């Protein structure tokens, strides 16, 4: 992804699985090369299963082994679901290919969020010590407040060091629970086999209107005008999904439970956090139970602590974020 393009916030009224959401669509972020530090990029079109398995083999990446032994994840960028994934007859192998493709992307998005969170935590620490904020601190907090939609809430934000603003940012600028993200991707995209995943890299079923790139659902009821939002690639799709969970009012309970987990254990539990997603789908509690079933039956809980094999890039960037305007 290009580094020189700043985030563009496009407020698009959307519905995910029957629940109304505001979808925040970021373009490629600028700043440090979080999304350029890939060991292998699979962005050929069309992508086939043989290409995917060959790349996984070269990087010694076995999703099942990573899941079962809590192994490290290589930095493999998969741009789209293989066009012939449906032809893989063995269910276990097909699921592993899908989940193995999505896992590094979720971790990459969490890295991006971690860099932004490091900036907020740095400002919070300075405020707690009674230190004056640098101009770069003020600019960054102001930028993040706009990106994470705090400008739309009744929160006094004239002073970027306002404790309410910092606390609200810490609620929103936080990582995805990996097991829950994988379960939702599987549920919403039929394990990558849906038409929307195939045609538009759409894993989470987000509805949009007046979008010329949207995909019209087959059998759409008369009078309805929505379409399914399409994305350039899977990484952009997951960025949108993360931003949706981190900004929309419907997921305030999710953010509060996540903050409590991070404060008490320092880790996330996707199975527990799925309980907060009754408004993500019109199916309500049945949707939650479906996600939890996917997490249990596919042993995804261990992936909530998954990490990249090489985290040096994040360590360096996070260090820089504590002292400079990283411009993410």
Model confidence pLDDT, tens digit, residues 74-104: 999 999 999 999 999 999 999 999 999 999 9
Q: How confident is the model at residue 312 (pLDDT cuts 50, 70, 90)?
A: low
d(CA 247, CA 245): 6
pLDDT of residue 155: 43
Tell whether domain 10-108+179-319 is in CATH 1.10.530.10: yes
d(CA 124, CA 132): 11
d(CA 107, CA 175): 9
Whole-model pTM: value is 0.84
Lowest mean pLDDT of 15-19, 125-129, 207-211, 224-228, name the range.
15-19
Over residues 10-19, the mean pLDDT reads 33
Q: Which residues contact 277 (CB under 8 A, 6 or more apart)?
A: 180, 184, 251, 254, 287, 288, 291
Q: Is the pLDDT of residue 5 over 60?
A: no
Of 52, 71, 64, the closest CA to residue 95 belongs to 64
d(CA 313, CA 328): 14
Higher per-residue confidence, 34 vs 197: 197
Q: How confident is the model at residue 211 (pLDDT cuts 50, 70, 90)?
A: confident
d(CA 178, CA 180): 5
pLDDT of residue 162: 74
Model confidence pLDDT, tens digit, residues 215-265: 888 888 888 888 888 999 999 999 999 999 999 999 999 999 999 999 999
User: CA torsion, points 164, 166, 171, 174, in degrees to nearest 10?
Assistant: 180
According to DSSP, residue 225 is labeled -
Task: Quickly list DSSP for 277-307.
Answer: -TTTBTTTHHHHHHHHHHHHHTT-GGGGG--
Over residues 114-138, the mean pLDDT reads 91
């Amino acid at each position: 992804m290009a580094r020189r393009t700043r985030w563009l916030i496009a407020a698009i009224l959307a519905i995910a699985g029957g629940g109304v959401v505001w979808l925040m669509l970021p373009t490629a972020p600028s700043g440090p090369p979080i999304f350029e530090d890939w060991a292998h990029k699979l962005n050929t079109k069309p992508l086939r299963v043989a290409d995917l398995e060959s790349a996984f083999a070269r990087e010694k990446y076995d999703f099942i082994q990573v899941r079962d032994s809590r192994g490290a994840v290589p930095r493999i960028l998969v741009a789209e679901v293989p066009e012939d994934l449906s032809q893989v007859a063995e269910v276990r192998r097909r699921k592993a290919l899908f989940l193995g493709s999505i896992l590094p992307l979720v971790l990459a998005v969490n890295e991006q969020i971690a860099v932004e969170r490091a900036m907020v935590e740095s400002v919070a620490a300075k405020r707690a010590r009674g230190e004056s904020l640098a101009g770069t601190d003020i600019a960054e907090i102001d930028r993040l407040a706009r990106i994470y939609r705090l400008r739309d809430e009744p929160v006094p934000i004239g002073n970027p060091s306002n404790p309410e603003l910092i606390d609200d940012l810490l609620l929103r600028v936080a990582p995805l629970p990996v097991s829950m993200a994988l379960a939702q991707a599987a549920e919403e995209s039929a394990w990558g086999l849906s038409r929307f995943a195939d045609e538009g890299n759409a894993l989470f079923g987000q509805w949009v209107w007046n979008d010329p790139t949207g995909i019209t659902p087959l059998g759409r009821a008369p009078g309805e005008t929505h379409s399914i939002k399409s994305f350039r690639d899977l990484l952009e799709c997951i960025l949108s999904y993360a931003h949706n969970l981190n900004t929309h009012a419907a997921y305030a309970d999710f953010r509060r439970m996540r903050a409590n987990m991070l404060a008490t254990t320092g880790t996330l539990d996707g199975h527990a956090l799925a309980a907060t997603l009754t408004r993500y789908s019109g199916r309500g509690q049945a949707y939650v139970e479906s996600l939890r079933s996917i997490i249990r039956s596919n042993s995804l809980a261990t992936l909530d602590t998954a990490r990249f094999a090489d985290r040096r890039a994040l360590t360096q960037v996070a260090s820089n974020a504590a002292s400079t305007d990283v411009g993410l």
